[in-house]
Structure 1
């Protein structure tokens, strides 16, 4: 599972595909999650959660 901002969503999707060899599941984070969760590639708030299931 990778949390990502709008700018880095393509990197997060590619990472899941490369690591798990499956189509990723893209979920938009709830507004209350955005306050405490940051993108794994920068310090911006996370907008999406990319997972393999």
Structure 2
């Protein structure tokens, strides 16, 4: 299991949406670098959905 996956699980258990979004983004970058584009798209999409739940500053 990759470290961002562990961090996502931890953030989910602690209901920390911001950390979930950040770690999904980090995991997406790893998948992209590994040329696993389908996984990258899926995790970037999850990250975008989580980030969209925040109100702009």
TM-score by length of 2: 0.29
More helix by share: 2
